[in-house]
Amino acid sequence: MLEELIIQALYGLSKAALLFLIACGLSVIFGMLNVANFAHGTLYMLSGFFAISLIRILGYSEVNLWMMLLALGPLCVTFVGIAFKYILTASARGSPEIIAVNSLIFTIGLAMIFNDVALAIWGADVYSYPKPSLLKGFILILGRMFPNYDVFNIVIIVVLGSILTFLFFKTKTGTVVRAMAFDERTASAMGIDTRYVSLIMFMLGSFLAGLGGAIGAMVGEVNFVTWEKVILEAFVVAVIGGLGSFRGALIGALIIGLTESYAIFFFSRLGPGVGWITMFIVLAVVLLIRPQGIFGGRF
């Protein structure tokens, strides 16, 4: 039983990796620009589509697969993300609170348009991204088969989590970002080029969402409604951790990933939506205790 619980925890970590990749950008962007980007799930979806289409054009070699997965797919959506950033900042006016709600409505519209763009280009078919051969097999953990793909996800969350934590909390750039998230106006008065920094963070957030999309496309299929599910998960994670908080996104992703994994393990006979239901129950509990989220107000 204990082994089973550990294996489930590992699956939860793997799930948490994807959640973290998408929620991190969402949360950090909200902290810096006060923009609740509902079109963030679109970036995830588009990255999967880009990676799949590019691999069809360039051919299914091993190097190509890795390149699409880690670089080209996410890079393509980074450019889409830059476009989003300029559209959003150009249209934002009013106090921060009003910007937040209006940008939510605005980005819903954006997401709806991209929903149709994806439908027009890729149709209503379901696509899947082939795994590189290294991620195809299994390894033995505690005498059980554990997919390489999930090991890769765990490596991703550990590596990226530590790199980003180091970046945000130990370097000068990180201090600038945290200062901006704390108070954009004062940061600007101190001589920080806030537009440049927020552009960089928007690119980073889009790249991470794109990475999540390309990785997610290997197991879950991609079609033009993928973003609806993804953005909901991302918002739940971000709200649990505290909107605008990087550590919150990390902790929120871990909490949701682990509880979902255990809930599916123990209560899977209740139906296919059991993971989602526990996710919302966790959200309700967190909101009752801490309405601002676990790391609310802190980066």
Partner 1 sequence: MEIKNKSLKLLTFIIITIAVLILPHFISTYILIHIIDTLLIILFAVSFNLVYGYMGELPFGHAAFFGLGAYALFLPVIWAKVNLAYAILIGICVPALYGALVASLIVRLSKIYFSLCSLAFGEFIAILLWSFRETGGDVGLHLRVIGIHDMIPFYYIVLAVTVVSLIILYRIVNSPFGLAVQAIRDNASRAKSIGINVGRYKKLLFIISTFFLGVGGVLYGILFSVVHPRYCSWLMLLNPLAGTLLGGAGSFIGPIIGTLIYYNIYWIVSENTIFWHSFTGALIIGLITFFPQGIMGYFEARRKARS
Please give the Cα distance from 17 to 188 (Å, whole number).
33
259 part of the interface to partner 1, by CB under 8 A? no
Nearest approach, Cβ of 251 to partner 1 (angstroms)? 18
Long-range contacts of 153-158 (CB under 8 A, 24+ apart): 153/13, 153/14, 153/15, 153/17, 153/18, 153/215, 154/10, 154/13, 154/14, 154/17, 156/17, 156/21, 156/211, 156/215, 157/13, 157/16, 157/17, 157/20, 157/253
Q: Which two tokens stand for residue 171?
A: 């370097």
Q: Which stretch binds partner 1 (CB under 8 A): 60-68, 113-121, 155-163, 188-196?
A: 113-121
Detail the DSSP E strand segments found in the chain: 138-141, 144-147
Smallest CA-to-CA distance from 118 within 265, 269, 11, 226 is with 226
Can you tell me which residue has the tokens 């080209």?
72
Q: How many residues bind partner 1 (CB under 8 A)?
A: 42
Nearest approach, Cβ of 140 to partner 1 (angstroms)? 33
82 part of the interface to partner 1, by CB under 8 A? no
277 part of the interface to partner 1, by CB under 8 A? yes
Can you tell me which residue has the tokens 């009013």?
94
125 part of the interface to partner 1, by CB under 8 A? no
Site string for partner 1, 234-253 (x = CB under 8 A): -xx--x---x----------
Residues 158-177 that bind partner 1 (CB under 8 A): none
121 part of the interface to partner 1, by CB under 8 A? no
101 part of the interface to partner 1, by CB under 8 A? yes
100 part of the interface to partner 1, by CB under 8 A? yes
19 part of the interface to partner 1, by CB under 8 A? no
- Residue pair 25/270 in contact (Cβ under 8 Å)? The answer is no
User: What residues line the site for partner 1 (CB under 8 A)?
Assistant: 30, 36, 91, 97-98, 100-102, 104-106, 108-113, 115-117, 119-120, 228, 232, 235-236, 239, 243, 270-274, 276-277, 280, 283-284, 287-288, 291-292
